[in-house]
Amino acid sequence: MTLAPVSSEIARVLASTRPVPTGNAALRAGLHARRLLFLKSLLVRLERLGGGLDPAARRRFERDWALLESTERADPSAVRDVLDYPMTGAWLAEALASPDGPALERHLAHFGGVALAAAIRAGRPVVGTWTLPTGVLALPGLGTLHRSSGELRLTSRAGTVRMADPTGHQGPALLRTAARPEEGTTRIGGGPGWSALRTLPGSGVVLDDLDPYRVPPHGVGPAALPAAGRPESGWRLWARRWNEAHALLAAVDPGRIAEIGTVLRAVVPLAPGRRVGGAPLSATARAAPGAVLAQLPGDGGELAESLVHETQHTKLAALHDLAPLCVPGAGTLHRVGWRPDPRPVMGVLQGAYAHLALVDLWWRAGDGASVPAGWRRRAGLRLEIYRDQVGEALSALGESDELTMVGREFVRGMGRHHANLGRAARSLR
């Protein structure tokens, strides 16, 4: 399997950081191709292991693989939906990086939830007994089920999957087939031990405070922040901030709302902790593009900036996977204005791209009569500082010999947009 090539035109339009439906569609196709490649790599690894894999783990994997294959034949979009979910990518990365033996087998147990989530979305009949080594069945993009017995009996009838404890100590959980989370509710299922993901208002983006792979094993950021779980994740506050951010973006740059809804699949709440420079921490994991890992923002303006910033990280990571923008391992470090530590070329490019999008957003805020005055003032102060910092980073990138041909053209495209924003800003003075 090879990844779909990216045309020079697609790379050119993406360089501006502006929302471009054709560019984002190409990146989604590339992300899916890469996800299939990783899944195939896992299958090949297990085939090569042969008798080195625990027989029970192999039987479970083969059953789950057969379920995924039959679901894909019936409803390819349902399988794609689950495979492309950000935390499925994080799981695949962990599984592929784990050593043979118990560590690998623990990760393989999660594949049952991946296959079941696809079957439930597709409305496929599901019958059998599932072993839950950890007592938890995680269905990516849907929710989680906790069972103390470690086993689960599944049956399907009249469009509903019944998940019952074979011991009879816990009642059944009922999930509708062809289910998707509804806005702010848990209506896709109910019953003892079941927790459903909730969709943020007016979007298809979920607040994922359940998936076991939602945060890297060693946490996020310098403080190694862990994920916030229920009930600490603060659903109501997140929904309020999400509405505030959408209202602000609608007043400043409505196209960003559509792009965020297309590129992002999940927001992962992080535990509160020390804020760097007074701002909430946000991040995008390389293995899980499409998920924003973030502390609860103080207001809608902070969340709007985080969403725009992290959307660019997802876009650039997907583009770099399809068409490498720099050569690996050269090791030259560069200083940038927005971080105290020197960064490799790819880090400079990621930061410059995300901050260029913020410069674009803040420049547009100057013309937004309906934009809250406090955020407009904050945007104006940051505009000058970060435009200069992005300009310095672009100069360093332009002189680097570590960029590929596509990378050099991409940086030139960023430079053109940066220059246009500078001319537009001077014309308003």
Lowest mean pLDDT among 169-178, 236-245, 341-350, 410-419: 169-178
Q: Predicted confidence band at 58 (pLDDT cuts at 50, 70, 90)?
A: very high
Is there a contact between 361 and 308 (Cβ–Cβ < 8 Å)?
yes
Segment (H or E) for 293: strand 291-294
Could you give the percent of the chain with pLDDT greater than 90?
Answer: 66
All structural domains of the chain with their residue ranges: 324-429
The predicted-structure confidence for 329-380, as pLDDT tens digits, reads as follows: 667 899 999 988 899 999 999 999 999 999 999 999 986 677 888 888 889 8
Whole-angstrom Cα distance, residue 339 to residue 155? 53
Q: What's the whole-number mean pLDDT along residues 311-324? A: 92
Quick one: which of 423, 323, 358, 338 has its CA closest to 17?
358
- What is the model's pLDDT at position 144? 94
Whole-angstrom Cα distance, residue 227 to residue 218? 11
Q: Is the pLDDT at 422 greater than 90, yes or no? A: no
Q: What's the whole-number mean pLDDT along residues 367-394? A: 88
Distances (CA, A) of 402 to 91, 327, 398: 31, 6, 10
Distances (CA, A) of 211 to 91, 115, 311, 373: 10, 15, 21, 38
Average pLDDT in the chain: 89
- What is the model's pLDDT at position 358? 97
Residue at 45: amino acid letter: R
Q: What's the whole-number mean pLDDT along residues 318-326? A: 90
**Of 2 and 412, which is predicted with more confidence?**
412
Q: Is the pLDDT at 110 greater than 70, yes or no? A: yes
Whole-angstrom Cα distance, residue 311 to residue 305? 10
DSSP letters spanning 200-265: PTTSS-EE-S--TTSS-TT-BTTTTBPBP-TTTT-HHHHHHHHHHHHHHHHHH-HHHHHHHHHH--
What angle separates helix 254-263 from helix 300-322, to the nearest 10 degrees?
A: 50
- What is the model's pLDDT at position 175? 80
Work out whether the CA dihedral 217, 222, 223, 228 comes out positive or negative: negative
Q: What's the whole-number mean pLDDT along residues 24-52? A: 93
Cut 0.75: pTM above it? yes
The predicted-structure confidence for 215-269, as pLDDT tens digits, reads as follows: 999 999 888 999 999 888 999 999 999 999 999 999 999 999 999 999 999 999 9
Q: Predicted confidence band at 2 (pLDDT cuts at 50, 70, 90)?
A: very low
Q: Is the pLDDT at 382 greater than 50, yes or no? A: yes
